[in-house]
Amino acid sequence: MREFPDDASCLEHLWRQRYAPDGEHAECPKCERERVFKKYATAQGRQSWTCTGCGHHVHPTAGTIFAKSSTSLHLWYYAMYMMASTRCGLSAKQLEREIGVSYRTAWRMLNKIRNELMADDGEPLRGDIEADETSVDGKPRKPHGQHPQIALGRSRRSEAMKLRERSRATVFAAVERGGRVKATVLPSRRGPALKAKLVEWVEPESIIVTDEWGAYKGLERHFLAHSRINHSSGVYVEGDTHTNTIEGFFGHLKPAIRGTYRKVSHRWLQGYLNEFVWRRNARYAETSMFAALLDRIDA
Ligand SMILES: [Zn+2]
C-alpha cells in the first residue's frame, strides 16, 4: 500500500519496468529510436504514453495478464502481493472477501497469476537431483505394511485399483539439492513419461537420485549417474542416496493444497503446482518475493 497506493502508481511501475526505466525515455517502435514520451489519456479514457516524435501510443498493460481486464491494476497488484506472501496458498473465496471482487473474477485472477506469472521459467536443473512422483490425494503408489484393500476379493480389488488409478493425477517433481524444484502433472507414472520429463528438465552431467520404482530403471543412460534408495526394504538414507528433499517438498505441497484448495481437479492442478514451485524457488531471489513476481510480468 505504501509502494503502490493507487492505480496510477501501478501503471507508472509497469511503464517504467517494461518501457522507460527513467519514466520518460523509451524506444519508439514506430520511430525505431529512443524518444521522449508524455502521458495522456486516450479518446477511450485509457491511460497511455505518447511518443512526442510521431504520436504513437504505448499502453503499458498490453500483452500482460492485465490487458483487457476490467479489474483495477491496484487490485491486481494486491492479489499478486498476497500470492507472493502466503505460504499455504490463497483461495479465490479468500481473495473475493479481501478485495471485494466477484468469486469468478477472483478465481480468474488467481488462475492467471498461477498459469502465467508463476509458470516454469525453462531454466534447467543441474547437479545432484532428486526425483519422485506422488499423487495429490496423498496415497503412496504402494503403501507400506498391509495393503488397505487386501481384505477385498481379487476382482473387486483390481477394480478398485483401476478406479483409483484413473481418478488420481500423478505429480512428478525433481529438485536440485540446495536449489530449485520443478513439478508437473503426468497422465501416467510409467517409465517413458517420467524419463522424458527428466531429460527435458535436467542437464545430462547431473546425478539423479530416485527410489527403487521400476519406472526409473535405465536413467544412468541419460545422466552422469543414477542411484536408487530401496524404500520397500525400509531403507531411507544411505550416505548421499536419499530422496528427503523432494519428499519434503511434497510434504508441504499436499497438506497445503488440501487445506487451502480442498479438491483440485486434474485440469487445474498444474497451476497449483506452479504456485508452490514458484514460491519455493523464489526463496532464492535476491529481491523480495513480491518484487520477484513483479519481474515476471514481462516474461
Ligand atoms: Zn515515435
**The pLDDT value given to residue 141:** 56
Question: What 3-state class would DSSP assign to 238?
Answer: strand
Buried-exposed string 219-231: b where 16+ CB fall within 10 A, e elsewhere:
beeebeebbbbeb
Query: If you measure from the C-alpha of residue 48 to the centroid of ligand 1, how many angstroms do you get, rounded to a whole number?
Result: 13
Query: If you measure from the C-alpha of residue 57 to the centroid of ligand 1, how many angstroms do you get, rounded to a whole number?
Result: 8
Q: What share of the chain is helix, strand, coil (3-state, %, to 5)?
A: 45, 20, 40
Residue 281 in contact with residue 249, Cβ under 8 Å?
Answer: no
Could you tell me which residues come within 8 angstroms of residue 125 by beta carbon, excluding any fewer than 6 positions away?
174, 175, 176, 179, 180, 182, 201, 202, 203, 206
Query: If you measure from the C-alpha of residue 39 to the centroid of ligand 1, how many angstroms do you get, rounded to a whole number?
Result: 14
Query: If you measure from the C-alpha of residue 245 to the centroid of ligand 1, how many angstroms do you get, rounded to a whole number?
Result: 52
Outline where 141-259 has alpha helix (H).
Answer: 154-167, 191-201, 244-256
**The pLDDT value given to residue 222:** 96
Q: Is the pLDDT of residue 171 over 50?
A: yes
Alpha-carbon dihedral sign for residues 196, 88, 264, 298: negative
Count, residues in the chain: 299
With a pLDDT cut of 70, the percent of the chain lying above it is 87
- Phi and psi (nearest 5°) for 201? -90, -35
Model confidence at 159, pLDDT cuts 50, 70, 90, reads: low
Residue 37 in contact with residue 47, Cβ under 8 Å?
Answer: no
**The pLDDT value given to residue 161:** 61
Query: If you measure from the C-alpha of residue 27 to the centroid of ligand 1, how many angstroms do you get, rounded to a whole number?
Result: 8
- Which residue in 71, 51, 70, 47 sits closest to 60, CA to CA? 47
Q: Output DSSP code: residue 74.
A: H
150 burial level (CB within 10 Å; 0-12, 13-18, 19+)? exposed
Report the chain's mean pLDDT, rounded to a whole number: 88
Mean pLDDT of 136-150: 52
Mean pLDDT of 135-158: 55
Residue 129 in contact with residue 176, Cβ under 8 Å?
Answer: yes
Domains of the chain: 67-117+268-299 (no CATH), 128-264 (3.30.420)
**The pLDDT value given to residue 138:** 45
Query: If you measure from the C-alpha of residue 47 to the centroid of ligand 1, how many angstroms do you get, rounded to a whole number?
Result: 17
Query: If you measure from the C-alpha of residue 33 to the centroid of ligand 1, how many angstroms do you get, rounded to a whole number?
Result: 8
**The pLDDT value given to residue 191:** 86
Query: If you measure from the C-alpha of residue 74 to the centroid of ligand 1, how many angstroms do you get, rounded to a whole number?
Result: 29
Question: What 3-state class would DSSP assign to 133?
Answer: strand
**pTM for this predicted structure:** 0.85
Residue written as grid cell 514520451:
37
20: how many CB neighbours lie within 10 A of its CB? 20
Query: If you measure from the C-alpha of residue 54 to the centroid of ligand 1, how many angstroms do you get, rounded to a whole number?
Result: 4
24: how many CB neighbours lie within 10 A of its CB? 15
Query: If you measure from the C-alpha of residue 42 to the centroid of ligand 1, how many angstroms do you get, rounded to a whole number?
Result: 16
For 73-82, 145-154, 248-257, which range has the lowest pLDDT when averaged over its residues? 145-154
The helix-helix angle for 92-99 and 73-85 (nearest 10°) equals: 130
